[in-house]
Structure 1
């Protein structure tokens, strides 16, 4: 009986290794950065089913080592034939790496001098300082883990990065895994939302750090805040922490849960946009929303100071200019304060962050007219600055010494009181201004990521006919990008690279960012020729009642993704797609004067084909195109003998009260709507 109890309360090293690996590397982490954040609580939970905990884990790892020491044993685990030659299963050294991370702890400081005593104490040794024997060789294991996750598995179980160099190279890697606790990770979206952060225009690392210190004091640990406040560029842990926060920011879709209030909101940013007329010395500032989410099909109605405004999707994460009958005049706001606009259903919230200085660039690269507000100062390219009066003398001193073509613009109309506009051909240094105004600091990091393409799954698997683009952002512009050892050319001039057309399919493709002979960032991807649709879709079959099917009948109706089986689709019926909700009033308008019907007051069984269905709302109405084709739906001059219908047709189209919102989506529909309004004026 004692032997059986002992057997139940024992987990071999290989079992611990796989339990830890499975916890961190799993399909849900595909394409996302993984950190081995190992704590005593985690180890206890992983061993709970077997009645063992953290102390048993430490003892098991110690028992697995020989007199040669734990580091030599960890290095020797790579020689396992199953791993060395076939690389099957999980890396056999993850258990050792987990122990090294456990020694980093979650409290105290990040000093490398404090790490080795903690490691020795964890192993039951005297907690003396000085490097642990052979600990400098553990970097081999970390780099092999990086290769396994990013190359062997193509990121399908998560991405792992080794990014600590310099004096932190040995202890920095395990310490870097503990930079953010699980609790801190959960509150980051709230901090991002309060700070007005988003990734469509990512701020510099220094500015992100300053915002997190300002808005994160109620959420982050003291040692996290202290590391964020570190301004030395030589502090590798500071850089690693910022990189981790940027990773989290880039994967955040804007959804924020407020448990205390019991609500979830989609957060976005309000950006200032401007049409500048330097001849007339006039600026026209408007507001647009940015979000990672798709805008609602009917656009957004936003509440601001109990006034209701409207915008719809423009493209690439941007909305149209916010309006209420006419374009919202953003110069009426004090840009030094923050403002919020919320949708009428409270599901959306957009924030204009407060700032004494705002950066603008030409909007052409984003497909927008005029100049557009961004979050980061561009290096070596033209930009504009809007600044409050108290910032101007410092700005002009910096602009004169560190910028090219810096000048103050004489704008007579369009700026808020006490604000001024500047223009520069290029900024070459941020040295004298980045501490005083972090928003004007350059980026110091290097980012490598994939953009676009058609993914097969959550990992870096793409169809060959729709590959992604490679984006390399390097602060000093010295990094070069290689694909399978081949140097790529930046034909865009903006750090956006095309994959070579002759790449192999169904094989790992290695992408490396290098500075001289050093690899500073890397990833891998897989291009697939095709895939069997039915077997690759992991979604279940759904029956006609919306329940998951358990029996496999070939003839019963079922849906699986876009596949429909066991049902004959009825012919298309226009009336089933009319935009009617309950007793909602809908006005149908035809292409000839007088062709108008109001549902449900009138029958929709009319002898003419409607072009527009205008859904009546509480605050605004929406024009929806419901015609057969644009060519056949042009307004047609005709004589109408029914004066009442004629006047109603004209009144609806002229829309003197500006209640009706134009159609969204295709610009041709908006032009057609304007043709109808022009035709109504001539009736």
Structure 2
């Protein structure tokens, strides 16, 4: 293969569709190069020869000088990938070379690969290779908006230039593949996870046998100032955030998530009402999820709520919410589905941290696994922690006080609140859940993405979240300072941001750029042509030989004539067992019951009501609110009149009203009209 074929083969191994928005690390080994060579019928020596020759058009002499020249105006040459990636791969490969030279020496390994004498001393122009690493970051993050993954140029150690390739070798591919199973064993979750120190301890404990001794020893280090350890933890947290909660157990795929406490406080009655919800990054099943406590046949159920959260767990026996205070929080809790595919855990802990549920779109307060910085929080703590916790709260927190709660907490537990935590020094070693994050992270949260990369619709832009930042760190958007006065650490993009403008987000400390991200806002979007989209038939099966005459569906695109089955109104509401669905119109007597009757043809339903064993549920199914007001009209069918009044008036106390306020108002109008019938 010539140089560009090697370059593109290596680049395609790391930058690809399935890595969209995920962190990319160029972990290059001799095994990887030999694998690529074998697929093309060549060998490792061919890679080295291609590197020495360089890409077409390079005229200068010297390895690093050729690498720099390959970068010149490369995007005007219609190349798929930056043409210097093969050079960067060589530099990473050299970081893992072992020989008779000192283990900490870098340049002898590089020279050995190139067939030269393994002497020490910097390779000519190697000090400028940082320009290529930085250009790769810009290309992956800004130019292609992360659609094939995002590379971060990060150096470790005092020698910056060799620290760049060494930073790519902290985790092997084998270790990276093992991380999901380790995350599951350590009760970690991609939505809510503890600070870096706690993650390091958990991985060191549960990663034995799957992580190298070098990696475990590095995780056990206690110095937060160790650059190597910090870089390793940043890589691991990137992997954790990208994890969708699935891991293999005995050859079977399992889905993991957290059981998280949710709390509603009544300070006047001195009462705390605590429930449990499931949270996961994985998509919930369409039907209700039935879960069982380990060692207990009592079933609980929940369904998807929003934002990776389930509804509160409900006891199937009586339909009442599970009372979380009845369980031992010191030991934790675990529930599984009957087939063990789903598993949710509440990790054991003597301290539980809560923040305002508004951040998650939930009422009350929700449990998190990391102490927030510069924000109010609540703590539920067991009495064994009170002495140290009280000292820390008085010395290191603002507005720290104990709440008088007489009902709702487990025995031996107490509730505290604080306006903000100023330091974690007194308590982080004993209780890592109360440690501040040590790495600064700048993340895009929410918004509606377009395609795979960091492109968002202008009407639904993301918010920016700065984690682990101090007051000295400022966030800029295209050099415009952003304000976070409304909520510490959360930033909104400027309201007047025009569409099709590349936005460069930077977290700066003085003149130094600590973290960087980018995005593009899109206002008008053209659907791709049908010929370029993967098509499916009416049953969702992939069409492998579709042409212009084929009938198929690709998202919202429909080509040619596709026969669809008639819409089944039974699917509007979740139906279990022998539940009935009643469709109610705006005039008295307009009511049909499915499955016993046919759908109406001369009037349109306004409400769809399900009737179960305990309570009913109502859903608005009218075309719009203004045309759905109840209408006064006589009905000759007295039986239908009685049914209409019964469901709207006599059964009003056993049917849950709609969630939205405007629908509640309309529902009340129907009830009043039914009362008069």
Q: 1:146 aligns with which of 131, 137, 141?
A: 137
Structure 2 counterpart of 1:3:
none
Q: How much does 1:306 deviate?
A: 1.7
Q: How much does 1:35 deviate?
A: 0.7
Mapped to 2, the partners of 1:596 and 1:353 lie a distance apart of 50
Structure 2 counterpart of 1:422:
416
Deviates more, 1:327-336 or 1:80-89: 80-89
Q: 1:173 aligns with which of 144, 152, 164?
A: 164
Gaps of 5+ in 2: none
Is residue 52 of structure 1 aligned with residue 52 of structure 2?
no
- C-alpha contact 2:630 2:673 (8 A) present in aligned 1: no
- C-alpha contact 1:272 1:286 (8 A) present in aligned 2: yes
Mapped to 2, the partners of 1:628 and 1:45 lie a distance apart of 60
Q: 1:257 aligns with which of 247, 250, 253?
A: 247
Q: Secondary structure at the match of 1:292?
A: coil
Mapped to 1, the partners of 2:564 and 2:17 lie a distance apart of 39
Matches of residues 159-170 of structure 1 in structure 2 within 5 Å? Answer: 159-164=150-155, 167-170=158-161
- Deviations 1:137-184 (Å, cap 9, x if unpaired)? 322221222222223333233211112255152222212212222222
Deviates more, 1:509-518 or 1:272-281: 272-281
- C-alpha contact 1:362 1:372 (8 A) present in aligned 2: yes
CA RMSD of aligned residues (A): 4.4
Structure 1 counterpart of 2:257:
268
Distance 1:557 1:20, change over 3 A: closer
- C-alpha contact 2:371 2:434 (8 A) present in aligned 1: yes
Structure 1 counterpart of 2:352:
358
Q: 1:548 aligns with which of 538, 543, 550?
A: 543
Distance 1:184 1:682, change over 3 A: farther
Q: How much does 1:48 deviate?
A: 0.7
- TM value normalised by structure 2: 0.83
Q: Secondary structure at the match of 1:533?
A: coil
Is residue 302 of structure 1 aligned with residue 291 of structure 2?
yes
Q: Secondary structure at the match of 2:104?
A: helix
Distance 1:471 1:577, change over 3 A: closer
Mapped to 2, the partners of 1:127 and 1:84 lie a distance apart of 32
Distance 1:84 1:551, change over 3 A: closer
Q: 1:320 aligns with which of 311, 321, 345?
A: 311
Distance 1:375 1:320, change over 3 A: same
Structure 1 counterpart of 2:5:
15
Q: How much does 1:113 deviate?
A: 1.9
Structure 2 counterpart of 1:5:
none
Structure 1 counterpart of 2:73:
83
Is residue 391 of structure 1 aligned with residue 374 of structure 2?
no
Matches of residues 288-299 of structure 1 in structure 2 within 5 Å? Answer: 288-299=277-288
Q: 1:585 aligns with which of 570, 578, 594?
A: 578
Mapped to 2, the partners of 1:627 and 1:33 lie a distance apart of 43
Is residue 455 of structure 1 aligned with residue 449 of structure 2?
yes
Q: 1:489 aligns with which of 483, 488, 491?
A: 483
- Deviations 1:3-33 (Å, cap 9, x if unpaired)? xxxxxxxx33333222212222233322221
Structure 2 counterpart of 1:509:
503
Distance 1:306 1:486, change over 3 A: same
Deviates more, 1:519-528 or 1:543-552: 543-552
Q: Secondary structure at the match of 1:412?
A: coil
Q: Secondary structure at the match of 1:170?
A: helix
Q: How much does 1:47 deviate?
A: 0.7
Q: How much does 1:210 deviate?
A: 2.0
Is residue 222 of structure 1 aligned with residue 213 of structure 2?
yes
Structure 2 counterpart of 1:528:
522
- Deviations 1:456-495 (Å, cap 9, x if unpaired)? 2101223344433333334213222222233333353333
Structure 2 counterpart of 1:519:
513
Gaps of 5+ in 1: 1-10
Distance 1:58 1:595, change over 3 A: same
Q: How much does 1:623 deviate?
A: 4.0
Mapped to 1, the partners of 2:422 and 2:599 lie a distance apart of 69
Distance 1:46 1:246, change over 3 A: same
Distance 1:185 1:568, change over 3 A: closer
- C-alpha contact 2:291 2:338 (8 A) present in aligned 1: yes
Q: How much does 1:308 deviate?
A: 2.0
Q: How much does 1:346 deviate?
A: 4.3
Deviates more, 1:590-599 or 1:532-541: 590-599
Distance 1:538 1:634, change over 3 A: farther
Structure 2 counterpart of 1:6:
none
Matches of residues 371-450 of structure 1 in structure 2 within 5 Å? Answer: 371-450=365-444
Mapped to 1, the partners of 2:291 and 2:667 lie a distance apart of 24
In the alignment of these two chains, the number of paired residues is 656
Mapped to 2, the partners of 1:78 and 1:553 lie a distance apart of 47
- C-alpha contact 1:593 1:649 (8 A) present in aligned 2: no
Distance 1:358 1:218, change over 3 A: farther
- C-alpha contact 2:531 2:548 (8 A) present in aligned 1: no
Mapped to 2, the partners of 1:295 and 1:436 lie a distance apart of 36
Mapped to 2, the partners of 1:674 and 1:309 lie a distance apart of 32
Is residue 206 of structure 1 aligned with residue 197 of structure 2?
yes
Q: Secondary structure at the match of 2:225?
A: coil
- C-alpha contact 1:71 1:135 (8 A) present in aligned 2: no
Q: 2:28 aligns with which of 33, 38, 59?
A: 38
Deviates more, 1:560-569 or 1:240-249: 560-569
Distance 1:88 1:74, change over 3 A: farther
Q: Secondary structure at the match of 1:219?
A: coil
- Deviations 1:22-59 (Å, cap 9, x if unpaired)? 22223332222111011122111111133333344235
Mapped to 1, the partners of 2:566 and 2:516 lie a distance apart of 50
- C-alpha contact 1:588 1:614 (8 A) present in aligned 2: yes
Structure 2 counterpart of 1:283:
272
Q: Secondary structure at the match of 1:327?
A: coil
- TM value normalised by structure 1: 0.82
